[in-house]
Amino acid sequence: MTTTAPAAVTAPLPEDDEEQRPTRKRRGAWKDSAAAWAMLSPNLLVFGLFLLLPLLATFWLSLYSSSGFGPREFIGFENYSELFGDDTFWRATLNTGVYALLTVPVSLVLGLGVALAINRPMRGRGLLRGIYYVPYVISGVVIAVAGRWVFNENVGVVNRLLRGAGLDGVPWQSDGVGAMASLVLISVWTKIGFCMVVYLAGLQSIPTEYLEAAQMDGAGRWTRLRHVIVPLLKPTTVFLVVLGVIESFQVFDIVYVLTGGGPGNATEMLVTYAYAEGFDARRQGYAATIGVVTYLLIAVLTALWWRRQKATEADQ
């Protein structure tokens, strides 16, 4: 028995419909594009007003010699030329790099350790998460004031404990290494909670079948951590590294209150140096130049890191 296709399928479309089909597709694509732009427009407006426009204004200001009062003088790229011969700028760049190299890895390792420790049913788990996370949401100024009390050379808690144990106190304020160490310790303390929360989310997204299969194959805790958990947490780690580096290049309040960039320039950071030039020395054009170069450094470091991670993922 033979069957015939329905007339609605086999019958050719009217000539008018074939001519209008491309027009309908274009209208549909235009409507989709318009809907996408309508949904993106609030974010684009905020980005343009509060990020792109200030960035362009900062670059424009960096081409002038300005004290913030009176008329400006256009000097072209003289601020950039002076900046590359400025020893304090290079010292601030080195200090910022050292600060990032010390705080980011230590925060990640300790945050992962805490996340692994409390990623199980236990009494008081929520309280522990809150205790670790609270320093991250407290104002950096408050954290730094507490740090000045803890790391005070004469009456600070740490030196009292060290002297009570028969050891010499550490010159937290008068020595450059001690001042940087106090800055790193305080910063790591504030960052552990955030890393812990992000790693906890990553740990809870790992399928339990993977860990159970590895355990059935005889893998111990350390082997499961090294060959199963850490590789699966790689996207989380990349996110935390990029965010940590960006935050390190933007650090200001803790440095300004805890050490003031001293002793000397031992803890001077790029942002604190820009503030000192812009508001203490009243060289706002030069301070804008430091801000532009800092932005470019962050952009280049972030792009290089993402590119390396993409290459690594492609090789795998």
pTM: 0.82
Q: Is 3 left (phi over 0), alpha (psi -120 to 50) or beta?
A: beta
Distance from C-alpha of 316 to C-alpha of 312, rounded to nearest angstrom: 6
- Confidence at residue 184, expressed as pLDDT on a 0 to 100 scale: 94
pLDDT, tens digit only, all 316 positions of the chain: 444 444 444 555 555 566 666 677 777 788 888 888 889 899 999 989 998 999 999 999 999 998 888 888 999 899 999 999 999 999 999 999 999 999 999 999 999 999 999 888 888 888 888 888 888 888 888 988 988 889 888 888 898 999 888 888 888 888 889 999 999 999 999 999 999 999 999 999 888 888 888 888 888 888 888 888 999 998 899 889 989 998 999 899 999 999 888 888 899 999 999 999 999 999 999 999 999 999 999 889 888 877 877 776 676 6
What is the helix (H) or strand (E) element at residue 73, kind and residue range?
Answer: strand 73-74
Q: What does the block give as tokens for 212?
A: 């159970």
- Closest residue by Cα to residue 270 from 100, 95, 83: 95
Chain centre distance of CA 305: 12
Backbone angles phi, psi at 236, to 5 degrees: -65, -40
Distance from C-alpha of 298 to C-alpha of 288, rounded to nearest angstrom: 15
What is the helix (H) or strand (E) element at residue 239, kind and residue range?
Answer: helix 234-249
- 């209150």: which residue's tokens? 257
- Confidence at residue 275, expressed as pLDDT on a 0 to 100 scale: 93
Question: Strand, coil or helix: what is 64?
Answer: strand
- Closest residue by Cα to residue 59 from 89, 79, 81: 79
How many CB atoms within 10 Å of residue 129?
17
- Read off the DSSP letter of residue 262: -
